[in-house]
Each structure stands twice: as structure tokens, then as C-alpha cells.
Structure 1
Amino acid sequence: MLSPTEPATNRKATPQVDFELDDLHADEERYLDFYREVGVHEDSLVPLAAHHDGPNSYYVLFDRSATWGHPGMAQVLAVHLQRDHEKQTFSFEQAPLPLPAMAQSWLILRGCPPDAIDLDHQLGPPPADDATRSLERRLAGDGEHYAMGYSYTSDDPEDMVIVVALRALDERAPSPFRVLVEEVDTETWTHTLREGGFDTVGEALQWCDDRLTGEAGPLPRVRAAATVSRSAGVAKVPVPHAPSRSR
């Protein structure tokens, strides 16, 4: 979900994120870690979704500052906070991820109720069709079958696109490598998400590179198997590095 160029006439007033850590002062080193990894960007973080459950808080955040970072950087940040008010301290995990649905999946795997972390689509382009909604539900609800190996986010107003390459954790899976493609239509201010299946990591990464240069053909269909889930997830397991790109 890319939102920096949304027309001002369509844009909801941007809410601010509040991590509610002001009364927790016991662990200075942890504060420094949190500041370096999350808090330094606090003024640029837009809460696309948040859920609070006692000492736990779960956030799907859009990082507006990522557009000025390394080309292709993921612009979504998942954050899980655990507070201990008795000891006046906290712990946290965070993960930059390319797609909001992948951030939802990451948080669900860490205890967030699946029905409690819905996205606020007034803060970015909503899904354009049922195919997009269905695939995003699969991504959010089943994050244990595929590992992310590569992603590239392009927020070029002429071609706003995110490509993600995934590898099956089950070696028996059909189409063991998947590519996810999110595209934003800046005229309708909606987005589509599609999935393709590949036999090798090289084919998957080559398709990603071709899409970013405008030379890709249609995504190959994912081969189905009754005994294997077709969903994709976010656990990070390396795959061979894709060709580097410049913005």
C-alpha cells in the first residue's frame, strides 16, 4: 500500500502513532534500541492498523520516510510492544515488510487476534477487486508456509508497484516460488494484488526485475495441490540476491 502521492482531496487527516511508553523508564538501553529501530521515524509513521490488548500493542505502520532511504526499501513496519508496568519496562519486536497484509500476518503469528488488526483503507488506496481482497486475507491469515526472500517497492507516480518473491518452506509445495505484485492505479486511487507461481528462484527473480523495467509478461498461474496450502507468509529465509536497482 503506497500512499505518499494520494490526491489531497481524497486524503484523510493523518493520525499520529502513540506508543504509550512515557511512564516506562527502567531500561535505558532498550529505549535506545527502540529509538534507533522505530522511534527515530515516529513523526513519519502512519498507523494503518493498531490493536491494544492489555500490556500488548500491535501496529501496522506506513513509514513515509522510507521513500528517502535506500531504493526499493519496504515502506511498511510491523511493531509488537509488550509493556510491564510493574517493572516500568517494555520489550518490542519490529519488522519492515513490503505489504500491509504481510505485516498483519507477522503480528497475528505473535498473538494479535486476526479480526482485530483490520486496515484503515482511508489512509491509502483500497483494494480494487475481490481477487485482491481474497489474496490479502490469505496473506494476513496464514503466514507459516512461505518465506520472504526479496522485495522491491517503487513509489514512482508513473508506476507505483511492489514486487515480492517468496519461497515455500515445504519442499513438496507446487510452484515452490511465488511472486506477489501490488500495483496502484493513481487515477482511481485503488490497488490490485496478484500472485504468480514459478519452479525456480531464478525465474521468480527475473520476472520481478522484468516487471520493474516494464518488460514482464503475464504472471504464470500457481499450480494447485489439495494437500498443500497455497497461501504466502512472511518468515524471513534468504534466497539468492536479486539484481540491484536504482530509483
Structure 2
Amino acid sequence: MLSPTEPAPTPKAIPHVDFELDDLDADEERYLDFYRKVAVHEDMLVPLAAHHDGPNSYYVLFDRAATWGPGMPQVLAVHLQRDYEKRTFSFEQAPLPLPAMAQSWLVHRGCPHDAISLGPELGPPPADEATRALERRLVGDGDRYAMGYSYTSDDPDDMVIVVVLRALDEQALSPFRVVVEEVDTETWTHTLREGGFDTAGEALQWCDDRLTGEAGPLPPVRPAATAGHPAGVAKAPAPRPPGRSR
């Protein structure tokens, strides 16, 4: 407890993202596209990680506005490319459910692997080495899988993210994987686990059961005979889930 004479602690300011585009021109359509997809909620974007390399900038952003849409991914990956001679810019962006998936997306667009580490003071830290190991694998090998479905629940009684991925390697013995992040609100840590499935339907059903509290343990992953590649992020679409009533 503070004594009456002690000043109250100053709340820690939420970091602000600066895309540094004020001195660049672009056609109106590109500006509108960037505004609609990224900057419309600029004051709600919290930088979890950023790296600047000359004309290139890479951002992992937490989108606080995404919590308004049930189940929506709450992490945004942004790659900015500036042309200072022509005074223009271009960009790519992707909403993703997990920070490690956003890091992977940026790494495979030229960001150095070691340059996009997450700020340790933002968000619950990993609870164990299994979580840290899977996150490292997600960042490094994220182009081996395509994301087909995700659901983010920020219910304070059950904070969980489920993601379904499809292997791009036709040799994979577990062609579909589920990655699950769970937050322990008492210890303020998170765990990340993965399981392997033979069909998209089985993977989606497990996710649905998890979100309703009825899921059993995740089945083990059966890796391809050539190597055990982790779940991650890629570009090809995967089967869409059935409609949810949530």
C-alpha cells in the first residue's frame, strides 16, 4: 500500500507504432489500401516486435481492435518497402493468430530471423521449454504449412487460440495439424502445443470440441519420413471450417 505522501506509480505507456511514411508520396489507391488494411486502427496497434533495414520495415503488431470481432486473429504482420528516390512505398500485410506465425511470415519476406524477437514485457511469456521450442520451429519453418482456420478466444476464463494447418509436403504422415495456445491468467504465462490429424474434418472437430470444453488430448504428430517439420504459416489455402454459431 502507498502511504498518503508517496506518489502513485506512473502507468507504463503503451508503445506506439510509427510507419514513417509522412515524407513519401504514393497514388491515392495505394494510400487508401494501406489505410483500410493497416492504418485505420493505427492508434490500436501495439508493436510486439519491429525491425528496420534501410528501406524495409517489418512489424509484428497486436491489434487491440480485433478483439471486437469474435474469433478474429489479433496479430498483424506488416512489411513496408520504401523507395526514397521515387518517394513512394509498397506494403504487404497479413492478419495471423499467433505472434510466432507473424514472425515466420516476415522472415520469409526477408527479415533476419534474429532481428524480429518479441518484446519480453509484452504479453504472457512462455510457460515451458516445449512452448519455446515449438515457437522457434514455427518461426523458422513456417512456410511448410498453409493456415486454413483459426479461432481466438479472449474469454478471461479460457483464453485460447486454435489453428488448423495443412502440410504442403505430400509425404507428411500427419497432413493436418492443430496448434493450440492457452493462457494461464493466474501465472500470466502461455503454453503452445501441436497435434496431428489425418483429415481436415478431424482437425476442425477437435478445435470445435476444445472451444466448447469437450476436447480430449491432442493426438501426436506423425512427421514425414524425411524430417519432422513443424506447423507454420504458408501461402496456399487449406479447407475452410464449417460455420460456427459462436
TM-score range, shorter chain: over 0.9
Structure 2 CA distance for aligned equivalents of residues 82 and 197 of structure 1: 37
Instruction: Report the equivalent of 1:171.
Output: 170
Structure 2 CA distance for aligned equivalents of residues 211 and 156 of structure 1: 13
Which consecutive segments of 4 or more residues in structure 1 shift more than 4 A?
none
Alignment pair present for 1:119 and 2:118: yes
Tell me, yes or no, if the aligned pair for 2:25 and 2:88 is still in contact at 8 Å. yes
Q: What secondary structure does 2:142 align onto?
A: coil
Instruction: Report the equivalent of 1:104.
Output: 103
What TM-score, normalized by structure 1, do the two folds share?
A: 0.92
Q: Tell me which amino acid in the other structure corresponds to 2:95.
A: P
Alignment pair present for 1:192 and 2:205: no
Report matched runs for 1:139-154 at 5 Å: 139-154=138-153
Instruction: Report the equivalent of 1:54.
Output: 54
* Distance apart, 1:234 and its partner CA: 1.1
The count of corresponding residues between Structure 1 and Structure 2 is: 237
* Distance apart, 1:23 and its partner CA: 0.3
* Distance apart, 1:227 and its partner CA: 0.7
What TM-score, normalized by structure 2, do the two folds share?
A: 0.93
* Distance apart, 1:144 and its partner CA: 2.0
Report matched runs for 1:1-150 at 5 Å: 12-69=12-69, 71-150=70-149
Question: Does 40-49 or 227-236 show the bigger shift?
Answer: 227-236
Q: CA RMSD of the aligned region, Å? A: 1.5
Tell me, yes or no, if the aligned pair for 1:12 and 1:122 is still in contact at 8 Å. no
> Which is greater in Rg?
2
Q: Tell me which amino acid in the other structure corresponds to 2:238.
A: V
Structure 1 CA distance for aligned equivalents of residues 129 and 197 of structure 2: 23
Identity of aligned residues (%): 83
How has the CA–CA distance of structure 1 residues 130 and 19 changed in structure 2, closer, same or farther, with 3 Å as cutoff?
Answer: same
Q: Tell me which amino acid in the other structure corresponds to 1:173.
A: A
Q: What secondary structure does 2:204 align onto?
A: helix
Instruction: Report the equivalent of 1:3.
Output: none
Structure 2 CA distance for aligned equivalents of residues 229 and 216 of structure 1: 25
Q: Unpaired segments of 5 or more residues in structure 1?
A: 1-8
